[in-house]
Each structure stands twice: as structure tokens, then as C-alpha cells.
Amino acid sequence: MQNIEGKVAYITGGTKGIGLGIAKALVENGVKVAISGRNIDDVEKARHYLGKENVLAIQSDVRFFEDEQNAVEQLISTFGRLDIVIANAGLGKFAPIDEMSLEDWNAMIDTNLTGVFHTMKATVEALKVSKGYYISIASLAGTNFFANGAGYNASKFGVVGFTQAAMLDLRNYDIKCTTIMPGSVTSNFNDHVPSEEDGWKIQPEDLGQMVVDLLKMKPNVLPSKIEVRPTKTK
């Protein structure tokens, strides 16, 4: 198994839900973590929750490449290197395609898909140096289409294809790429308020453990596309 203690990770959308669950698991395993989000107050709250030591709070909107460039510069200035990237930032807007607004369509494509590219573009040179690991958080909506999901499906199908193609492009640099495709997760996604009724769902800490397990795998092993769903529904 690989030792990940002392490595440095960058997590977009790291203030709550899946991103925060992954950040917590990495911190508990000795990884130095930078988390980013659009609202710096939310990022600072997450930093306090994780513990201030070896956790960096960064304001960044993945829709803007310059934000991600600045985030990586801050991270490397603080920690000196970058080993792990978790491209997690995302949002969902659901409506029949004939009723979907241009604003909602563009918000999803710009954040969920172009944002993943921006994060990759801003981090890839540092990952070449460290022979690091890039993980995108997609969704089962990246392989299963559903009514009212045209925009979200388009963005997540795109994330899956993007990450798999990037995996082929970057493996010659000894960079690993994986896309994780969760089903129902207890989170604040789409303004949901988590409650005890969410107990049947995947929990953020489950995905945190999955990421830790991936990072600890031997260099010659790469689960490049992972579907994960609740064992049962409700």
C-alpha cells in the first residue's frame, strides 16, 4: 500500500457534502489539504471544522480559470507541492428541456464540466512533477439519463468522458486519473437539508474512505471509473 501521509491535496467544492467528507478523511490520514469554494466565509467554516493545522482555505470559482490558477499558486506557496486533486465542485438544475433556461444550462456546463477542465488545466503541471492523482466526482447521472435531467446528464456524461480520456493522455506522466460516479448521497446538493431520513443513502464519509483507499493502492493498479450506489433504496 502507498503511504499518503504528508501528501498535499486540493479539493474544489470542499465546504460541505462530498467535498468536506473527502477532506475530513484525508486530514485524518495525515494529508495536507486545501479546500476551495465560491464563498470564503463557507470555506473558513469548513477549515475550522477540519482543524486549522495543515488546512488551507481558498476562495475560487471553478467557472473562471484564473481563479483556479490563483488557487494552485496559493497552495504551492503554502505547502510546496501538489499530489492529489479532487474536482468536486458541482450543481444541479432540473427541468424539462423545453422549460430549461439558458442561465441554468450554462451554470451546469460551466461549473460541472468546464470547471473540471479548469481544475485539471491549472493543476496538471504540478501533478506531472509529483506523479500525482486526479479524481473527478461525477455521478451515476453520467451514465443513466432521466427525465428533467438533460442539462445535468449532459454535464456529468461529459465529466466521465473527459476524465477517462485524460487518463489515457496523462498515464505516460505517471499521473493517475479516476472518475467516481456516486448515486444518492446525503449532502446539501440542490438545497437539500440532510436529516435522519437520509440514512439509507451513501454518506460523505463513505466516499472519503473510498478516496483514501484509491490513493493507497499500488502504483500499477488503477480503478479508472467507479460506480457507487446505496445498497438499497429507502
Residue 100 to residue 96: CA distance in whole angstroms: 6
Q: What is the DSSP string of 77-133?
A: HHHS---EEEE---------TTT--HHHHHHHIIIIIIHHHHHHHHHHHHHHHHT-E
Bridge partners, residue 137, by sequence: 180
The reply to whether 49 belongs to the active site is no
Q: Edge-to-edge strand order for the sheet containing 55-59?
A: 55-59, 32-37, 8-12, 84-87, 133-137, 176-182, 225-228
One-letter amino acid of 25: A
Distance of CA 54 to the CA centre of its chain: 19
> Crossing angle for the helix pair 150-170 and 115-130, nearest 10 degrees?
20
CA distances from 191 to 68, 165, 199, 204 (A): 25, 32, 18, 16
Catalytic residue, candidates 10, 133, 134, 152: 152
The residues carrying an active-site annotation are 152
